[in-house]
Amino acid sequence: MKAVFLTRHNVVVILSDTLRWDVLGVNGGPGWLDVKTPELDAFAREAVCFDGARVSSFPTIPMRTDCFSGRFSHPGYGWQPLEPSLQTLPQVFQ
């Protein structure tokens, strides 16, 4: 059996459910908005961005549950802590 060595990478997830993706400068944000995001733009130019990522829920907590668990949660999963048995993205990356 051949040994397989996995390269470990740093993963930073920036999640904002109240920020439109199209206002960020790195995404060609419109000049008519007075939104400046130079640090986020610089970070995004060096990072892997998932431009086609979508979540299925709109309210904050269900959307975050969707994002970090891969599970459709709205409307059945409301404003509550995550179930202890639910596997989350940090656990997968661990």
How far apart are the C-alpha atoms of 62 and 36, rounded to whole Å?
29
pLDDT of residue 29: 77
Residue 41's pLDDT band, with cuts at 50, 70 and 90, is confident
pLDDT of residue 63: 82
CB neighbour list of residue 48: distance below 8 Å, 6 or more residues apart: none
Is 0.75 surpassed by the pTM of this model?
no
Helix (H, G, I), strand (E, B) or coil at 39: helix
Q: Do 22 and 10 touch, CB atoms closer than 8 A? A: no
pLDDT of residue 86: 86
Residue 17's pLDDT band, with cuts at 50, 70 and 90, is low
How far apart are the C-alpha atoms of 1 and 88, rounded to whole Å?
31
